[in-house]
Amino acid sequence: MQDRNHGCIVQVGSALSYRAIPLQAAYCGAKFAIRGFTSALRTELMHEHSRVHVTMVQMPALNTPQFDWCRTRMPLAPQPLPPIFEPEVAARAVYWAAHHRRRELYVGGSTLAAIWGTRLLAPLADRYMARTAYRGQTSHDLIPPDRPDNLWHSPPGDHGTRGRFSGHARERSPALWLSTHRNWLLGAGLAGLTLLRLASWRSRRGMAWPAR
């Protein structure tokens, strides 16, 4: 990319790179670190006047198999903190980010709420997570004693991309659609305002619209 002075690096982040939650301290720490690394890399490329673009896609909870093979000492099976989205939503966001020069792309309204809630009301967000995130990240299923995990070795077989939460995982993200179409929406809004102002101006002067 440096030789061609062109290209895009897409970092897959998370709402948890801004909003840390209980029971996922190691994961949140890793995501916070990735966000810091990405910010530093972006400034280094800017210093070099490079045209290589760096973007970060902040994900919501996703229905992936990781909750079936992660090492855990919880008595009940772990689950992502709802709302949950299918992995295809994440794939569409990453593809879009690779073809558009956006600094960050937020996927899902829950991601927006987590990030802006932390920015504006961090102490309240801490209390809310302490009260709700434990219950939200556990199911009612007991973990079997022989449950495999991927701490030291990858589980055998092809586990696909989807986890066991398809029954209540969302296949669409209105917040992602609004984010990826914001320029079009802004243009449509400005055009609408222009037409309203023109109609108001003509109405005040008693001017009729030209007949077709």
pLDDT confidence of residue 210? 59
Report the alpha-carbon distance of residue 130 to residue 126 in Å, rounded: 6
Report the alpha-carbon distance of residue 86 to residue 88 in Å, rounded: 5
Tokens 């009260």 belong to residue: 131
The one-digit pLDDT tens for each residue of the chain (212 residues) are 989 999 999 999 999 999 999 999 999 999 999 999 999 999 999 999 999 999 999 999 999 988 888 888 888 888 888 899 999 999 999 999 999 999 999 999 889 888 888 888 777 877 887 888 777 777 888 888 888 888 888 888 887 888 878 877 888 888 787 888 777 777 777 777 776 776 676 666 665 555 55
pLDDT confidence of residue 17? 94
Residue type, 126: D
Strand partners, 14: 59
pTM of the model as a whole: 0.68
